[in-house]
Amino acid sequence: MLSLASRSLSNLSINSSTSLETDINSIKYIILLSFLIVSLVLSLFIFYHTLITPAARKLNCHIIIILLCLNFLQTSTDLPILIGIFHTGYLRPASSAFCTFWVWYDFSLNAMSICLMAFASIERHIIVFKWKFFQNQMKRYIFHYLPIIIILCWIPLFYIVAVVISPTCQQNWSYNLISCGQPCYVLYDKYLSGFDFIFHLLISIFIIAISNITLCIRIIYQKRKIQHAADQRRQQKMAIQLISIAILYIAGWFPSIIIQLIQLYFDPSFLAHQLESILFSIYFVPLLLPAICLRIVPQLTKRFSTIIGRKL
């Protein structure tokens, strides 16, 4: 009798846990879907107006536009798959081939985005303080276009090897879990997963943080030395553009990266049950990026306000 009661309590606990998880996933579904719709509308608005704006062709806008393109791919094709899992509880279509593609696609977009942001954070120092450096065509190709091309080519190729070909282990996907339960190299190959984590995420987020902090310091220091108001405004404008985006990346990525660092090298059980909830903040980077970009470009803000004002 005691055994039966114990089993009943155990089943009740499992059902309660499952019900709670379903409720949480429903809340995540509603939140992500709401932000997704707004993000797509803002992205389309920005794309339309940047195409007819000559300022979009400037060197300091190139990476921001590329980030917006990657962001649009995430919000229009990648995040809907995730939202579908939160809504139905499983992946559609539930197949090994689709899991492999989705994980490769998702990991590639996230890594390209954060690595490009890291490069932009370093490059912004040159654009703000040594802007004549890029007037030389050869230097512009080598130090601006070439790093962008390398990042956009290297990262998808890396994940083709790590996820698609997977030479070190056999993939075993779970169709009811985010990222299909993680690719096997993350779980079983500590060297490949360590390389991926350190070089694509950890180093990138620290470069973003340190570069933008030093950029703020340099702007404040230079303000005392530069008397020309136009030069001060130019420097502040270009710095604020990237710093605003950097704050979004740091807020979205930094907590999960630090927790994963502790789990990888110190305590594997550290905040293990809370990690999925903390990882949820990463999804807001692509969702909020169009709003940040709209806010830091006064011309776009005015046009958007005018259009909204007319319709209201």
pLDDT tens, 200-232?
999 999 999 999 999 988 888 876 666 565 566
pLDDT at 183 over 70: yes
Handedness of CA 9, 10, 12, 16 (dihedral sign): positive
pLDDT at 306 over 70: no
The whole-angstrom separation of Cα 139 and Cα 228 is 27
Q: Which residue has the higher pLDDT, 122 or 130?
A: 122
The whole-angstrom separation of Cα 275 and Cα 136 is 47
The whole-angstrom separation of Cα 166 and Cα 160 is 8
- Give the pLDDT of residue 70: 95
Position 4 confidence tier, pLDDT thresholds 50, 70, 90? very low
pLDDT at 82 over 70: yes
Position 56 confidence tier, pLDDT thresholds 50, 70, 90? low
The distance in angstroms from the start CA to the end CA of the chain is: 67
Q: Which residue has the higher pLDDT, 307 or 77?
A: 77
* Helices 2-51, 62-73: inter-axial angle, 10-degree rounding: 140
pLDDT at 310 over 80: no
The whole-angstrom separation of Cα 34 and Cα 46 is 19
* Residue 131: both structure tokens together: 């802007």
pLDDT at 135 over 90: no
pTM: 0.87
Max CA separation in the chain (angstroms): 87
Question: For a pLDDT cut of 70, what percent of the chain falls above it?
Answer: 82
Q: Which residue has the higher pLDDT, 3 or 232?
A: 232
Mean pLDDT score across all residues of the chain? 83
Set out the domains of the chain in order of their start, with CATH numbers. Answer: 35-311 (1.20.1070.10)
The whole-angstrom separation of Cα 188 and Cα 179 is 16
Q: What is the pLDDT of residues 6-51, one digit of tens each?
A: 333 233 333 444 666 777 888 889 999 999 999 999 999 888 877 6
Q: Which of 47-61, 103-117, 262-276 has the lowest mean pLDDT?
A: 47-61
Smallest CA-to-CA distance from 193 within 252, 255, 263, 285 is with 263
